[in-house]
């Protein structure tokens, strides 16, 4: 039986003080849910204060990204070694926004090349996170153009194979994969629950092909993309959807608590 997991990706929102206040608020509302793993992913600067705030609340800390070297001349980057020192337990990798694939573009199109994540860098980041005992939350998903072209499964399988290449089956038991249709991120659109279930089931089958059945059974697969309190229960009731990677709704204490309670 896989334990449900709900992770809040705060993106570039909230100061450290605001983040601490937010977790204090919703922690009180979800304290009774020991059967759900709850993760919050603040910005790097907010991690220490938020970590200290939730230390005895049963809430885990995640990071939003990582670099694939432990140290070196990489200005502005943060390593898995540094994250581990801050008691970070999870880390998002391959999010569509770091790949330059936006559901809703809020920056000039000319700046999109700044977001240059590739399947190769995702693979390198996963290797380094695993080395330091941090669980990757690997994001995969298709754009609207790819869905309309009928290549959703092909795109997702390609992302999975590239991200997990070179990893032994024994390394993947605790892996978390988040299916995030790019066209649903920040747009208010949500993938229909039955289709989200189909794709999450397909992701599990790809993991089985890459590793084995036992690993596929243990891997937790989340749905992300405009998850809200009013659609979480239907999504989370599906057998292959093990929780959610929640964006904007995780910034509202009552709404995020309701999503957690739906898991």
CA dihedral 241, 247, 250, 255 (to 10 degrees): -70
For residue 185, the model assigns a pLDDT of 81
Domain span at residue 111?
A: 4-262
Catalytic site residue from 95, 117, 142, 197:
95
180 is catalytic: yes
Catalytic site residue from 97, 142, 180, 197:
180
CATH number of domain containing 68: 3.20.20.70
Q: Domain tally for the chain?
A: 1
**Which residues, at least 6 apart from 181, have a Cβ–Cβ distance to it below 8 Å?**
103, 141, 142, 147, 191, 225
Task: List average pLDDT for each run of 10 residues in the chain, which is 263 residues long.
Answer: 95 98 89 85 98 91 98 98 98 95 89 92 98 98 94 98 96 95 83 96 98 96 93 96 96 95 91
Quote the distance between the C-alpha of residue 67 and its chain's center. 16
For residue 32, the model assigns a pLDDT of 65
- pLDDT digits over 146-163, tens only? 999 999 999 999 999 999
For residue 104, the model assigns a pLDDT of 85
For residue 110, the model assigns a pLDDT of 93
Q: Enter the pTM of the model.
A: 0.96
Q: State both tokens at 239.
A: 């057998």
- Specify the DSSP class assigned to residue 106: -
95 is catalytic: yes
Extended beta strands in the chain, E state: 4-9, 36-41, 59-63, 90-93, 135-140, 176-179, 220-224, 243-246
For residue 123, the model assigns a pLDDT of 98
**Which residues, at least 6 apart from 84, have a Cβ–Cβ distance to it below 8 Å?**
132, 133, 134
């Amino acid at each position: 039986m896989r334990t449900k997991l709900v992770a809040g990706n705060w993106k570039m929102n909230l100061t450290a003080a605001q983040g601490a206040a937010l977790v204090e608020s919703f922690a009180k509302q979800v304290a009774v849910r020991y059967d759900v793993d709850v993760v919050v992913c603040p910005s790097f600067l907010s991690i220490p204060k938020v970590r200290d705030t939730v230390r005895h609340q049963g809430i885990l800390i995640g990071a939003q990204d990582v670099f694939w070297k432990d140290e070196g001349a990489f200005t502005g980057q943060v390593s898995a070694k540094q994250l581990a020192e801050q008691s970070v337990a999870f880390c998002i990798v391959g999010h569509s926004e770091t790949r330059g694939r936006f559901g809703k573009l809020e920056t000039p199109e000319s700046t999109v090349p700044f977001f240059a994540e590739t399947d190769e860098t995702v693979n390198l980041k996963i290797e380094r996170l695993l080395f330091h005992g941090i669980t990757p939350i690997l994001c995969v998903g298709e754009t609207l153009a790819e869905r309309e072209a009928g290549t959703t499964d092909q795109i997702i399988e390609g992302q999975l194979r590239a991200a997990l290449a070179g990893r032994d089956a024994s390394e993947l038991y605790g892996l978390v994969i988040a299916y995030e249709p790019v066209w649903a991120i920040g747009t208010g659109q949500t993938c229909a629950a039955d289709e989200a279930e189909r794709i999450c089931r397909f992701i599990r089958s790809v993991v089985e092909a890459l590793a084995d059945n036992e690993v596929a059974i243990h891997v937790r697969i989340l749905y992300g993309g405009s998850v809200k309190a009013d659609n979480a229960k239907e999504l989370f009731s599906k057998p292959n959807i093990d929780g959610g990677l929640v964006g904007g709704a995780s910034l509202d204490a009552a709404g995020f608590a309701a999503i957690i309670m739906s898991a």
